[in-house]
Chain A
Amino acid sequence: MSTITNEAVEKTVIEALISFGAEPDEVTPETELTTLDIDSLDLAELSQIVDDEYGVTMKSSDVSKIKTVGDIVAVIVAKA
């Protein structure tokens, strides 16, 4: 299991979002997920990746608060 740092989590999240089809140039911490065409299934899969990588379980109540790429990173780091 990987150590949780802001940088490591951000890298994991950005790689995952790109693998879901987000344009690499558009993925910054401030980008809203809707502009990247990232939806609830993508976030559910991201939750799996985060659980495997960091042992952090994101619940649907956590996911519902997320609007930007940075929000995802903040939720994961806060739960660690």
Chain B
Amino acid sequence: MSAAKPIPGTIRPEGCALVTGASKGIGAAAAAALAADGWAVGVHYGRDAAGAQATVEAIEGAGGRAFAVGGDVADPAAADAILTAVEAELGPVLALVNNAGITDDGLAMQLEDDAFDRVIATNLGGAFRLTRRALGPMVRARYGRIVNVASIVGLRANAGQANYAASKAGLIGLTRTVAAEVARRGVTVNAVAPGFIATDMTADIHPDQLGAIPARRPGSVDEVAACVAFLASDAAAYVTGSVLTVDGGLSA
């Protein structure tokens, strides 16, 4: 009798994780959490090279392995350049965290084309192209983890963020469909949907808005990072196509 084939996607082979937008905030925390779980981590940044270097140094200081890589994810050529650089340094990318994102807020009736297009190209187009580039090696390795950092704004209204909401709702649609395409190769695709998280991106939010959150406080980047690390773990092998809200009950 021949030995039973291992179930695809349940045991992590040699490889690394890549977190986009990891110079600060949720991305930096996710990179640190993945490193703590034993992943070598590609720390991507858009413009903030110093921030990415700080993330790398924090990971190395904790005994982990990390490598900073720059690139504008809205640029169609960036996905291949970023993945190729990380693969050369740390080996195949078996976990991809699409976190890089921007906002450019305004009411829909006043939103300029450029503000709409730039947010979609970065938050959704960038995630798509990185996903497309990463999937081949993951499928062939019979192991992969893609975690898209969406937002509760992709699930419910937030006036003034039509472009950002569209990008995050799109990311959730991308998550579910790609999950269905590659599930039988041991590649999982999930999203986290943070609510109010204390970061630079939410620094301008009025304290009164926190009253709407059942937990009565903003979340921390580490609380989101813990969810990302779980979805990237072997333990989450049967979780795919899901959207994990991390919002203190705001969308409950």
In the bound complex, do residue B185 and residue A41 qualify as a contact, i.e. CB atoms below 8 Å apart? yes
A71 to B229, CA, bound (A): 43
Count of interface residues, chain A, beta-carbon cutoff 8 Å: 5
Q: Provide the residues of chain A in CB contact with B140, threshold 8 Å.
A: 45, 48-49
Count of interface residues, chain B, beta-carbon cutoff 8 Å: 8
A44 within 8 A of B: yes
In the bound complex, do residue A41 and residue B184 qualify as a contact, i.e. CB atoms below 8 Å apart? yes
Q: Provide the residues of chain A in CB contact with B214, threshold 8 Å.
A: none
Q: Give the total number of A-B pairs whose CB atoms are below 8 A apart.
A: 15
Shortest distance from the beta carbon of B15 to any chain A beta carbon, whole Å = 16
Interface secondary structure of B, over-half rule: helix
0/1 string, B25-63, CB within 8 A of A gives 1 = 000000000000000000000000000000000000000
Q: Provide the residues of chain A in CB contact with B137, threshold 8 Å.
A: 48
A45 to B184, CA, bound (A): 12
Known: A48-B137, A48-B140. 13 other contacts (CB 8 A): A41-B139, A41-B181, A41-B182, A41-B184, A41-B185, A44-B139, A45-B136, A45-B139, A45-B140, A45-B185, A48-B136, A48-B139, A49-B140
Binding site for A on B (CB under 8 A): 136-137, 139-140, 181-182, 184-185
A-B contact pairs, 10 of them (CB 8 A): A41-B139, A41-B181, A41-B184, A41-B185, A45-B139, A45-B140, A45-B185, A48-B136, A48-B137, A48-B140
